[in-house]
Structure 1
Amino acid sequence: MSAPPLESAVNHTRLLNDKRIMSSQDSSCSRAEDIDARTRKRPRNLKQTHFFTSVRKTICSECQMSYVQHLRSDRELHEKYHRRAIEGVELGPTNTLTWNAIEQHQLKSGLDGKIVEVNVESSKEISVAEELLDIVNQVLSAPKDNRGWSSDPNRGKVFLFVIRNKAVGICSTERITEGKWMVYDTGELVPKQKLPLIIGISRIYVSHKYRRMGIGLRLLFAVQKHSIYGLRLTRYQIGWSQPSEFGGKLALSFNGVKHKSGKMLIPIYEER
């Protein structure tokens, strides 16, 4: 039984409308895809950029600091460090009276100086000593030293040589019990020999400007007299941790001995 004419016409009209809507949607989707395809950016080939520089650092032959010469900040930093390494470390204008001068000296050059013992209860004095020791380690290309003295004077002491309110020399020590003889020329240790020692010279240094004035020996004499209360050490109760070229010559003149083989020996110990 066929549908009435009116109902057939309505169904036909609905069918045409549905087709137009679907066609319109398909067309819209197609246009959107086309637009998206045209506007979508193609991925670029990414390349990693490498920066090559020709920056070369200069190493100062005197203070051993490395810096970039054409950078103003580096130059200024080096100049400040260099002055301290060559001329000494300022004690500070308001702290000169707090330092405990244990000896007064007049050098052959006519300069007056004094030896002070760093007071471990003074953070300022410890700070100055540590700053100078950091410079010493830099100049000597040495590892960080033992600073047990900063917490307990029974573990060691620090003596400074002061000229015009500047620490121009330093000697830091530590308490030890034994060491060995070392052949000065070769650096070889004498086997099967233990040497009884009491004090070890951890670091000793004199600023370049004040060398060859006898300051190093004066610091060593102070170590002999002031390391242990009421006891003056002999030279052969004192050993050296790692003498540099300057320290080696000083050690040789201070407590070097001549072996029967003709070789010169100096007492050394292993720093803790």
Structure 2
Amino acid sequence: MDKKATHGGKNAKRPKLVQMTFAVKQKGPKTCSQCGFNFFTCNTNDKISQHKRYHNEYLNGYEISTLKISKLKEIGKVINSHCVTINQEERKLSILLVSYRDTTTRKIIGTMLKMINNRWLNTPTEENKILDKVVLVISQPNTSKSTINKSYIVGITTTIPGPLDGFFMDIKTSNVDRLKVMQLNLGVSRIFVSQEYRRKGLALEMLESLRCHAIYGVALKKEEIGFSQPSGAGTLLISQWMSPATCIPVYDEV
């Protein structure tokens, strides 16, 4: 008999080690239908609390301190303020235009941008892009009697500076006509609004704030602003903003 084949032989292969899990009911990964967070139902409390945090941020916005709001207002410009009702409570909204080239701005909203890109928009990070003007929607308690005393960034739109090569994209077919090149003076890279604040016209208000205030002293034409790879919901939003329109201006995001 060949010695190599015997169990006690010097060169005998050892059986593979298999980790056994007892008394734990294994289930497949669960995806939250609202925030898209993936986790296993048998995860530790740390993972569950992590989902709770992301879920809350997706619904209500990115929490921000009063001190950071003051810093952003010092750096940027408040375009408009008004109130909305969220979950039967009145909240004060501020539309704020800031420059992402400012170091303080990047420190305050950099983490939020990464979270939005990676988790909710499922798009590449914008770290390597030269981001320019950013519009923020900040939600704060309207009165001292508010039950929710926290403040949040609930909307954000990022841009890159022009000039950019633009093309027209057909709204119905999503086909891009690359034979006709036009110059864009501003590119809109990302638009995001927290779920509880949607369908209140905030995305349209952010676009209009960019059109009128992104370039000092100049109100851009809507055709001078392009969009990067808009999704179905994004295309619907842009076509509503540019209405009536059969095509929308887009640019290639590198």
Q: How far apart are residue 45 of structure 1 and its match?
A: 5.1
Post-superposition Cα deviations, 1:170-210, rounded to whole Å, max 9, x if no partner, equal 00000132211111222211241112211111001100010
Q: What SS is found at the alignment partner of 1:113?
A: strand
Match of 1:161 among 128, 137, 152: 137
Please say if 1:86 is aligned against 2:59: yes
Asked if 2 retains the 8 angstrom alpha-carbon contact of 1:140 and 1:244, the reply is no
CA distance in 2, matches of 1:268, 1:256: 16
Asked if 2 retains the 8 angstrom alpha-carbon contact of 1:256 and 1:266, the reply is no
Please say if 1:135 is aligned against 2:121: no
Q: What SS is found at the alignment partner of 2:33?
A: coil
Post-superposition Cα deviations, 1:120-141, rounded to whole Å, max 9, x if no partner, equal 4764532332222223222122
Which stretch has the larger CA shift, 63-72 or 104-113?
A: 104-113
1:93 maps to amino acid: T
Please say if 1:66 is aligned against 2:43: no
| Count of matched residue positions in the alignment of Structure 1 and Structure 2 | 222
Asked if 2 retains the 8 angstrom alpha-carbon contact of 1:172 and 1:202, the reply is yes
Fraction of identical pairs, as percent: 25
1:141 maps to amino acid: N
Q: What SS is found at the alignment partner of 1:95?
A: helix
- Structure 2, unaligned stretches of length 5 or more? 1-7, 141-150
CA distance in 2, matches of 1:147, 1:105: 32
TM-score by length of 2: 0.77
- Structure 1, unaligned stretches of length 5 or more? 1-40, 150-154, 259-263
TM-score by length of 1: 0.73
Match of 1:46 among 5, 14, 30: 14
Asked if 1 retains the 8 angstrom alpha-carbon contact of 2:99 and 2:132, the reply is no
Asked if 1 retains the 8 angstrom alpha-carbon contact of 2:79 and 2:97, the reply is no
Partner of 2:82: 106
2:139 maps to amino acid: I
Post-superposition Cα deviations, 1:136-190, rounded to whole Å, max 9, x if no partner, equal 22212212235545xxxxx521111111121000000001322111112222112
Q: What SS is found at the alignment partner of 1:143?
A: coil
Structure with the higher helix share, 1 or 2:
1
CA distance in 2, matches of 1:159, 1:240: 15
Q: What SS is found at the alignment partner of 1:222?
A: helix
Which stretch has the larger CA shift, 184-193 or 41-50?
A: 41-50
CA distance in 1, matches of 2:124, 2:100: 22
CA distance in 1, matches of 2:244, 2:233: 18
Are the structure 2 counterparts of residues 50 and 179 from structure 1 closer, same or farther at C-alpha, using a change threshold of 3 Å? farther
2:48 maps to amino acid: R
Match of 1:266 among 244, 248, 254: 248
Asked if 1 retains the 8 angstrom alpha-carbon contact of 2:84 and 2:93, the reply is no
Are the structure 2 counterparts of residues 271 and 52 from structure 1 closer, same or farther at C-alpha, using a change threshold of 3 Å? farther
Structure with the higher strand share, 1 or 2:
2
- Following superposition of structure 1 onto structure 2, how do residues 192-231 of structure 1 map, counting pairs within 5 Å? 192-231=179-218
Q: How far apart are residue 52 of structure 1 and its match?
A: 7.4
- Could you list the runs of 4 or more consecutive aligned residues of structure 1 that deviate by over 6 angstroms after TM superposition? none
Partner of 2:105: 125
Asked if 2 retains the 8 angstrom alpha-carbon contact of 1:257 and 1:266, the reply is no
Q: What SS is found at the alignment partner of 2:66?
A: coil
Which of the pair has more CA radius of gyration?
1
Q: How far apart are residue 108 of structure 1 and its match?
A: 5.5
Are the structure 2 counterparts of residues 127 and 59 from structure 1 closer, same or farther at C-alpha, using a change threshold of 3 Å? farther
Are the structure 2 counterparts of residues 171 and 244 from structure 1 closer, same or farther at C-alpha, using a change threshold of 3 Å? same
Post-superposition Cα deviations, 1:215-272, rounded to whole Å, max 9, x if no partner, equal 10111111112211111111111011021233221111112554xxxxx211110113
Q: How far apart are residue 98 of structure 1 and its match?
A: 1.6
Which stretch has the larger CA shift, 85-94 or 55-64?
A: 55-64
Asked if 2 retains the 8 angstrom alpha-carbon contact of 1:89 and 1:128, the reply is no
